[in-house]
């Protein structure tokens, strides 16, 4: 098949293009990334001309773009988007409901929510890893020594979150309400939605800072404030305090952005690239920690698949979809409270053979069931059931 891939600068997924080529498809990558297409009428015209000339069987991206949706819809070309974030904010627009648009969400709860809202072509599709490319990665002895540690976490602390940037405009009523939500819901991972935002709180936010809800999406105010403000602030609180807790007992390395503030005592290292440095961290760390962003309600984030693809051991907060994709305590280890995290980290650092066996099992699960090729084939089967 002829496929046009529209990439994202922020979520570069070169493995998708390589995997499609390995599958025998003819793939072209559009020269302009989605971030430079959005809200530019001339870019929509350029895409229209490109599609006219190329005549692809379908367009594929990992970030929804209204301009691509409109151009492909006019030409009756299918547009598939495999969303790598949850919520996938760019997909909360009317264009996502076009008949030619197929949205694939890795978070089942988000997918179900979109279906209830009328998005007829919403599908659940767990993420994957590029096993073929990752197996080719070469890591030197010096790099293994550099990255070696008891435990590592690769990701942001969300210290520059939207709630903290707006907090000065909020009244004590709003601040106290958000603090209560976080105090009651943080550090518990049991599948319950602990981000309950009342209409009374929303009314107070509208009164204090009405610009909060000046967004172009079709999200409700409740969903927008919950996911963009409360969820990210809760994630910030959880990640910072858990890094502080773990640093007091273990040799933990944190790889994060320069702008992030981290607790004293945490061994901080510069951000590493997803395509190279992070993979070397994953295979050099005894334990790879996952603390899922709170706006991901049920799904399994990309970090887990990438760690497993490198033969790394994963210790993750419990997510509703983990037991559906992996066998707990055989392919992945989970925790539901900080106390359980500390206990399990201590146990598996002391039981090397068990840790290595679980890591090996996780690698085999991803290799057999969650490669780019296997998941992309499922997406194509939805677009063309008898291809």
Percent of the chain with pLDDT over 90: 86
CATH of the domain at 344: 3.40.50.2000
Is 4 within 8 Å of 51 (Cβ atoms)? yes
pLDDT band at 215 (very low <50, low <70, confident <90, very high): confident
**Residues 113 and 151 both lie in one domain:** no
What is residue 194's three-state secondary structure? coil
Residues 286 and 378 in one domain: no
Question: Does a structural domain hold residue 46?
Answer: yes
- CA atoms of 370 and 134, how far apart (whole Å): 13
Over 70: is that where the pLDDT of 190 sits? yes
Q: Is the pLDDT of residue 283 over 90?
A: yes
252 and 120 belong to one structural domain: no
User: Which of the residue ranges 9-18, 164-173, 378-387 has the most confident prediction, judged by mean pLDDT?
Assistant: 164-173
pLDDT band at 313 (very low <50, low <70, confident <90, very high): very high
Domain that holds residue 280: 132-161+233-369
Same domain for 244 and 345? yes
The predicted structure's pLDDT at residue 257: 86
Q: Is residue 281 included in any domain, yes or no?
A: yes
Using pLDDT thresholds of 50, 70 and 90, give the confidence band for residue 209: very high
Pair (264, 338) in one structural domain? yes
Q: Give the pLDDT band of residue 264 (cuts 50, 70, 90).
A: confident
Q: What is the pLDDT of residue 150?
A: 96
Mean pLDDT of 151-157: 96
Domain-embedded: residue 320: yes
Residue 197 falls inside a structural domain: no
> Is 193 a member of any domain?
no
| Pair 335, 241 in one domain | yes
If asked whether residues 153 and 285 sit together in one domain, one would say: yes
What is the C-alpha separation between 162 and 230, in angstroms, rounded? 9
The candidate with the shortest Cα–Cα distance to 181, out of 139, 227, 241, 219, is 227
Residue 265 pLDDT > 90: no
Least-confidence region, from 26-40, 113-127, 311-325: 26-40
- pLDDT tens column, 65-86: 999 999 999 999 999 999 999 9
Same domain, 144 and 279: yes
139 & 261 share domain: yes
151 and 284 assigned to the same domain? yes
Arithmetic mean of pLDDT, 185-189 = 96
| Residue given tokens 């809200």 in the structure block | 39
**269 and 154 assigned to the same domain:** yes
| CA pseudo-torsion sign 162, 165, 170, 172 | positive
How far is it between the farthest Cα atoms of the chain? Answer: 61
Residue 258 pLDDT greater than 80, yes or no? no
Tally the domains of the chain.
2
Whether 336 maps to a domain, the answer reads: yes
What whole-number distance in Å separates Cα of residue 102 and Cα of residue 83?
A: 10
363 in the same domain as 341 = yes
pTM beyond 0.85, yes or no: yes
pLDDT band of residue 387 (cuts 50, 70, 90) is: low
Mean pLDDT of the chain: 94
């Amino acid at each position: 098949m002829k496929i046009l891939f529209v990439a994202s600068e922020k979520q570069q997924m070169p493995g998708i293009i390589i995997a499609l080529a390995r599958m025998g498809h003819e793939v072209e990558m559009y020269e302009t990334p989605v971030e430079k297409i959005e809200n530019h009428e001339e870019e929509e015209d350029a895409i229209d001309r490109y599609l006219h000339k190329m005549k692809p069987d379908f367009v594929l991206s990992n970030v929804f773009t209204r301009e691509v949706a409109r151009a492909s819809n006019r030409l009756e070309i299918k547009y598939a988007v495999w969303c790598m974030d949850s919520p996938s904010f760019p997909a909360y627009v009317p264009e996502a409901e076009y008949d030619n648009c197929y949205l694939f969400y890795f978070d089942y709860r988000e997918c179900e929510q979109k279906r209830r809202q009328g998005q007829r072509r919403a599908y659940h599709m767990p993420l994957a890893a590029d096993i073929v490319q990752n197996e080719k990665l070469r890591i030197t002895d010096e790099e293994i020594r550099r990255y070696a540690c008891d435990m590592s976490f690769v990701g942001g602390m969300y210290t520059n979150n939207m709630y903290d940037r707006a907090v000065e405009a909020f009244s004590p009523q709003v601040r106290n309400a958000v603090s209560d939500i976080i105090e009651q819901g943080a550090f518990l991972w049991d599948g319950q939605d602990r981000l309950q935002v009342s209409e009374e709180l929303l009314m107070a936010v509208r009164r204090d800072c009405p610009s909060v809800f000046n967004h172009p999406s079709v999200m409700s105010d409740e969903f927008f404030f919950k996911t963009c403000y409360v969820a990210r602030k809760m994630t910030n609180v959880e990640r910072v305090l858990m890094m502080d807790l773990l640093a007091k007992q273990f040799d933990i390395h944190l790889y994060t952005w320069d702008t992030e503030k981290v607790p004293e005592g945490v061994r901080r290292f510069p951000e590493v690239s997803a395509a190279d440095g992070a993979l070397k961290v994953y295979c050099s760390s005894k334990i790879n920690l996952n603390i899922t962003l709170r706006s991901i309600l049920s799904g399994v984030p990309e970090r887990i698949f990438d760690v497993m693809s490198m033969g790394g051991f994963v210790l993750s907060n419990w997510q509703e979809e983990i037991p559906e994709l992996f066998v707990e305590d055989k392919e992945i280890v989970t925790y539901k409270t900080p106390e359980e995290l500390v206990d399990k980290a201590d146990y598996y650092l002391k039981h090397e053979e068990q840790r290595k066996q679980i890591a090996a099992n996780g690698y085999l699960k991803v290799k057999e069931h969650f490669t780019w090729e296997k998941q992309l084939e499922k997406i194509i089967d939805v677009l063309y059931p008898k291809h």
